[in-house]
Amino acid sequence: MEPAGSAIVEAGNRRQGIEALSARGFCMVQCDRHMPVMSGTDRIAKIRKNAEWADLPIFIVSADNSSMPRPRAEASGATGWFKKPVSRDRLLAAMGRALSGTAA
């Protein structure tokens, strides 16, 4: 995403991601569903509890093939879900729509 003009901050786990979000603020979050410490749906729910982040676009990119995680992620507040591998153009287009306020 850096070549597309985005600054990237990586977190080793979801808890560190929430700490980084609290410290710096971001215009968007992209995460994998499978990371240590906190599940993706728990992380999204925790982010959504903060009114400041209620409209923050959150995208999950995952190699998970099951159909169950996607509805759970959407119910917890994910903006979009992409199955790996996802094309850079498709991901950037969805992110652009989310940032402009149009459908993801």
Whether the per-residue pLDDT at 2 is higher than 60: the answer is: no
Q: Does residue 60 contact residue 82 with C-beta atoms inside 8 Å?
A: yes
Q: Using alpha carbons only, how large is the chain's radius of gyration in Å?
A: 13
Q: pLDDT tens digits, residue range 22-72?
A: 888 788 988 877 666 777 778 888 889 999 998 999 998 888 766 657 787
Percent of the chain topping pLDDT 90: 12
Q: What is the pLDDT of residue 94?
A: 92
Task: Place 3 in a pLDDT band, splitting at 50, 70 and 90.
Answer: low
Q: What is the pLDDT of residue 62?
A: 84
Domains of the chain by start residue, with CATH: 2-100 (3.40.50.2300)
The span from the CA of 42 to the CA of 47, in Å, is 9
Task: Place 74 in a pLDDT band, splitting at 50, 70 and 90.
Answer: confident
